[in-house]
Structure 1
Amino acid sequence: MDYEILCSKVIAIARLTGNFIRKESMNFDAKAIEFKGLNDLVSYVDKTAEKQLVRNLAKILPEAGFTTEEKTTSTKGAVYNWIIDPLDGTTNFIHGLPTYSISIALYEADQPVIGVVYEITRGEMFYTYKGGAAYLNNKPITVSSRPKLSDCLLATGFPYYEFAQQEQYMQLLAEIMRRCHGLRRIGSAAVDLAYVACGRFDAYFEYNLNSWDVAAGAYLVQQAGGHIMNFSGGDEFIEKREILATNAFLDEELLELMNKHFNA
């Protein structure tokens, strides 16, 4: 399989659906909002975008299965499987805030081989594929090289419906805020990870996420030279629904903090 050629087709598909989302954002009516759960929003834009992505991705790799956020389809491929978030940052989109993205990952036998994150409002296409580097709009990217937390800018996400670990999380945030240049909450996990991959953020952490939130972005970070792990330092970040992405220099400092507040 030529992953570079396949990735170029995925990029074209993401761009096409991104154009649809961008157009809908200009006249979006808040009455179109639906609730999947507490603070878990969705609209016809998410669902239509997902159907477009599934239809077009199925054309370029018919044997692949799908894991999708809006569950417009759910099939298991024998070897290949797409993991898709058609609109990561739905709450931002609904409220007119300018950070939301399309996230597409392809897994081969449980290993990522393609990752594409398209930040729609800025027109930034982040992508990577097996055997290649990580790129932003055709230019190679790498994670940052800042070695100390005191010199770094971090990203996170706030829990919005699962609050069992809120107290530990707030204590962790308070300590990190005192030890770094700043902490940002953009509202799209895929974009947070893409920004780690290109060095805008030095690290990112969040819990209670799903595979479609992080599959593509995590692969971008790894391909750009960074590290991906759960809060204990293990590889099961999707299974445990917690992710720590670093520039590979901050692992020790951040894992010490994670262990202090989450794994004590």
Structure 2
Amino acid sequence: MSDQREPSVVSGKSFTAVAINCAAKAGEWIKTKLGNYNRLDTKYSSHDLVTEVDKGSEQLIKKLVLTHFPHHSFLGEEGVEPGPEASAQALADKSEAEYLWIVDPIDGTTNFVHGFPFFVVSIALAYKGEVIVGVVYDPMKDELFLAEKGKGAYVSGKRMQVSKEETLSSSLIATGFPADHLYALPLNLKGIQALAPQVRNLRSSGSAALHMAYVAAGRLTGFWEIGLNSWDLAAGSLLVQESGGIVTDTQGKSYHLGVRNVAASNGLMHEPFLKALAVAEATE
């Protein structure tokens, strides 16, 4: 058994080094394009934006990854047709992959388009369906959030730990406003209406990966959102878990790559957090 596992262990550091290098290079390039993109298109809805910078960032990352690991599989947002069905199918098509890189080349494209400085590069590596490396890079703040399975999580080299709030009333919670206006947005708005009076306050930066990183860093107590994709969550899920937090779906089931309705928290207030969403019928 040990002989079979040794290659994965030996190459673990290089996996992480490549993920960091890809995120840094893509982030640096994205930053140079702020306010300087040429083409803006919509995808699933008028609120689901894409530019040539998203596509260029993904190509840059994919080329670097496959240069180092040509036999690995790659799943990037811009290589998938818009819509939840296509996203689920794209992930299913890669379900047999031993090593799968899961990439959101710009999480927070709407922010990028408007020059609102909250967008990140999100890169995860899953081994047989389990995330083993997660990197979220914020180029505007030059903050790198990094986690390796079983080795903890760090921001700019400093060990991260989730916050210590034990109640909803003392919690700062984040969510988003989904592009899917028929299903996801109404549910999220029901959750917002229910939670707003119960928590210290709510925030929305417009980037799920950044929200997850902030939960890991103790800057947010929790985060939930309906209708996300594997590339929004994979890296952030490991960041939260390796910082001592909990990631489940909105019904409390364990996180896996197929989760679309997510709840992440410091763990201490996870149960009342989920209960509040359930009472509001805002979980699925």
Q: Common fold, TM-score beyond 0.5?
A: yes
Of the structure 1 ranges 53-62 and 70-79, higher mean CA displacement relative to structure 2 is found in 70-79
Query: C-alpha root-mean-square deviation of aligned residues, in Å?
Result: 2.0
Task: List alignment gaps of at least 5 residues for structure 1.
Answer: none
Task: Report how far residue 62 of structure 1 moved.
Answer: 1.8
> Within 5 A, what are the aligned runs for 1:1-264?
1=8, 2-29=11-38, 32-38=39-45, 39-71=47-79, 76=94, 78-164=97-183, 166-236=185-255, 238-262=257-281
2:264 alignment partner, SS class: strand
Amino acid at match of 1:105: A
CA change 1:34–1:153 in 2 (3 A) is same
Q: Distance in 2 between matches of 1:41 and 1:48?
A: 15
Residues 109-137 of structure 1, C-alpha deviations (whole Å, 9 max, x = no match):
00111000001111110011123110001
Task: Report how far residue 180 of structure 1 moved.
Answer: 1.4
Q: Distance in 2 between matches of 1:233 and 1:215?
A: 17
CA change 1:236–1:12 in 2 (3 A) is closer
Residues 165-192 of structure 1, C-alpha deviations (whole Å, 9 max, x = no match):
5444333212211111110010000000
Q: Distance in 2 between matches of 1:52 and 1:167?
A: 36
Task: Report how far residue 238 of structure 1 moved.
Answer: 4.4
2:124–2:131: 8 Å Cα contact kept in structure 1? Answer: yes
Q: Distance in 2 between matches of 1:253 and 1:164?
A: 24
**Identity %, equivalent residues:** 34
Residues 133-183 of structure 1, C-alpha deviations (whole Å, 9 max, x = no match):
100011110111111111111100112223335444333212211111110
1:4–1:129: 8 Å Cα contact kept in structure 2? Answer: no
2:79 alignment partner, SS class: coil
Amino acid at match of 2:59: K
Q: Distance in 2 between matches of 1:36 and 1:135?
A: 34
Task: List alignment gaps of at least 5 residues for structure 2.
Answer: 1-7, 82-89
Amino acid at match of 2:118: T
Q: Distance in 2 between matches of 1:167 and 1:116?
A: 31
TM-score, with length taken from structure 2:
0.87
1:107–1:113: 8 Å Cα contact kept in structure 2? Answer: yes
Q: Distance in 1 between matches of 2:34 and 2:194?
A: 37
CA change 1:165–1:60 in 2 (3 A) is closer
Q: Distance in 1 between matches of 2:161 and 2:59?
A: 32
